[in-house]
Amino acid sequence: MQEKTSRYELESTLLQVAGNYSWTWDLQARELFNRIPSLNGEGALHPAERIKLLSEEDWERLTNDAEFSALARDAHSNLPKPLQINDGTTVAYFSPEFGVSEMLPQYSGGLGVLAGDHLKAASDLRMPLLAVGLFYRDGFFRQALEDGQQRERYVTNNPRFLALTATPARVELQLADRQVTARVWRTNVGTTRLFLLDTDLDVNDEFGRRVSDRLYSGDREHRMRQELLMGVGGVRAIRQLGYEPAKFHLNEGHAGFLALELLAEEVAKGLTLDEAVTAIRTRIVFTTHTPVPAGIDRFAPDLMRKYLGVWADRYGVDLDELLKLGILPGGDDHFNMAAFCVRIAGRCNGVSRLHGEVSRAMFSEVPGGSEITSVTNGIHARTWVDPEMQMVFDDKLGPDWHLPAADAWNKVDEISDDEIRTVFASGRQRMISMANSQLGHETNLDPDILTIGFARRFATYKRADLLLADIERLTSLINDGDRPVQFVFAGKAHPADEPGKDLLRNIVRFAGDPASNGRFIFIPGYNMAVARAMYAGCDVWLNNPVRPREACGTSGEKSALNGGLNFSILDGWWDECFDGENGWAIPSSVADDPQQRDREEASLLYDILGDEIAPLFYGPGGIAPTADWLNKVRHNWRTLGPFVTASRMVKEYGERIYQVAAGS
């Protein structure tokens, strides 16, 4: 009897801890779930699923483990309490993807991870924020390698195993001549609520069920349906659930159609379209994420007419007038979602200082475009800093080191060389084990060699293969007798991006070339877990995009907090954060010819790596990394620590962009 009761209690406690994604950063919860046996095969399973799969013997063991039970109780008592959020200061944050955890595969890259980090930091700051997106039944693809190429595989997600709870909301939406119904899932990310719309319902026909099938897949028309579901459907969902947000934050233009629902409400009151735009602007905030025109969502006029004709008819709006709101002056007749969002948002921002400048130029002809400001992206430190390093920070800097305005970082000199070396060595070992397990065989990675990391989406402007520009120079760095260098790569190419897949093939081919001596590897199956292990396991983080196409870039910020030194083109966040000492800059070439530019920048990259980085790491013999290297690591923490966090970013959004502080 006794044992049965305790098993019931333990199971209920564990499920409650698994039911709030605060376990992705709470150290006790992470430790707790690390002790729950995982099944082999499909990678790590969500704790909610693992708990449901435990055997009788597992329960027998766990219920008899007093330490485990105590840990479970502690993690449970740390669970964030839900915030009362309907007080007129609430922000509704809309995003097509959310990277909360690799176990909730509803993200493709940096945009989604940023959204996840935004929710987590809002939770840390107790900011009243709720988030809205889609639940993609098949998520984003999982990557495998086959014959040196990327293979894409989709796995169907079961919401019951992902800590999603059904809400009573049912959203009806007209998509051209079809009627679609969506349900709304809810989960908690600390004190913030995340709502995800899902059309995979029996009441829908096959067409309807497929609307929310996969992230970033299908043709333009499919994307249009998804964006209408997220925007229009999303507003209807939160209204049904009783929320009346003061602000709507569009994380990139994909959710811009939410304005249709808000405009309709104003037009129904008798306002003209122009007046309605003015009326909703104070409630809308838009963050633009790409300085690359080809990266912006655009819809052909025919498609717009097909999907928005009904809407315009219903509210007596002149469709042509609506379509004009999406025209980018100097562009074509397509409806440009970013131009539309700039027109309908009262506040717009880019995601780094440089990107703000580029965006003002890009939208200068759009009303409001010259007022675009910037809030530089940050990262959720408790999610991304390795737990061993976090424990050193907690001990030496105090537990608030990850919060804004922490002068904690001035105390980094109290962290000794030995402490840093110990955590680095452990991070390296764990990265090597992760690489071996992802690749399914032992790699030749050497734990004592200077290790350069590169992991991100394989979009062409990021130039994943720039290092391959001169194989001879690259191999001489790799095989240097005194100061060898090794490289670790990971990343996915979008399934439809053939040039991106070519880059990936080039990297994989060189990794298999004997000339690379096993010191240049590509890790397949890129996701947040692979990325985390790399930030904690690499000495240097390389980023070599074509300037100024990297709007911000956040992987370098994650590496920096883990003690990695950035080695990057002066683009995005690095353009404003590099101070001459906290890492290295790769100068940008002024050549007009792209090939010439790539050659020149690659050549500088080899120079700096061989002449400055490797000598500092190895020193004149003895222990690597040298004391001088570790001083640079501390300087990196001191200068970047207070700035690169998502808590600093979200605080800035609150003060400068949302401006919804209670009482205002």
Interface with ligand PLP (CB under 6 A): 109-110, 113, 456, 528, 531, 553-555, 558
CB 523 within 8 A of CB 439: yes
CB 92 within 8 A of CB 245: yes
Distance CA 157, CA 12 (A): 23
Which residues are CB-neighbours of 129 under 8 A, at least 6 positions away?
85, 90, 91, 92, 93, 119, 122, 192
Helix (H) or strand (E) holding 475, with range, is helix 471-478
CB closer to ligand PLP out of 199 and 559: 559
How many Cβ atoms sit within 10 Å of the Cβ of residue 320? Answer: 10
Question: What b-and-e string marks burial along 600-632, b requiring 16 or more CB atoms within 10 Å of the CB?
Answer: bbbebbbebbbeebbebbbeeeeebbbeebbeb
Q: How far is the CB of 456 from ligand PLP (least distance, A)?
A: 3
Paired tokens of 263: 């405009």
CB closer to ligand PLP out of 516 and 647: 647
Cα 631 to chain centroid distance, Å, stands at: 30
CB closer to ligand PLP out of 351 and 616: 351
Distance CA 71, CA 24 (A): 16
Distance CA 123, CA 130 (A): 10
CB closer to ligand PLP out of 139 and 234: 139
Q: How far is the CB of 523 from ligand PLP (least distance, A)?
A: 12
CB closer to ligand PLP out of 343 and 462: 462
Q: What is the DSSP letter of 83?
A: P
Query: CA nearest 449: which of 618, 633, 628?
Result: 618
Distance CA 569, CA 542 (A): 9
Please report, as a single letter, which amino acid is at residue 480: D
CA distances to 10, 18, 56, 68 from 64, in Å: 11, 21, 12, 9
Paired tokens of 127: 């900011």
Q: How far is the CB of 116 from ligand PLP (least distance, A)?
A: 9
CB closer to ligand PLP out of 427 and 553: 553
CB closer to ligand PLP out of 173 and 560: 560
Strands (E), 270-397: 284-287, 298-299, 335-336, 347-350, 373-374
Q: How far is the CB of 599 from ligand PLP (least distance, A)?
A: 23
CB closer to ligand PLP out of 193 and 380: 380
CB closer to ligand PLP out of 68 and 384: 384
CB closer to ligand PLP out of 378 and 553: 553
Local structure of 196: helix, strand or coil: strand
Q: How far is the CB of 244 from ligand PLP (least distance, A)?
A: 33
Q: How far is the CB of 639 from ligand PLP (least distance, A)?
A: 19
Q: How far is the CB of 535 from ligand PLP (least distance, A)?
A: 8
Q: How far is the CB of 113 from ligand PLP (least distance, A)?
A: 4
Distance CA 150, CA 135 (A): 25
Q: How far is the CB of 528 from ligand PLP (least distance, A)?
A: 5
Work out whether strand 335-336 and strand 298-299 pair parallel, antiparallel, or are unpaired.
Answer: antiparallel
CB closer to ligand PLP out of 110 and 524: 110
Q: How far is the CB of 125 from ligand PLP (least distance, A)?
A: 21
Q: How far is the CB of 51 from ligand PLP (least distance, A)?
A: 25
Paired tokens of 647: 């808590």
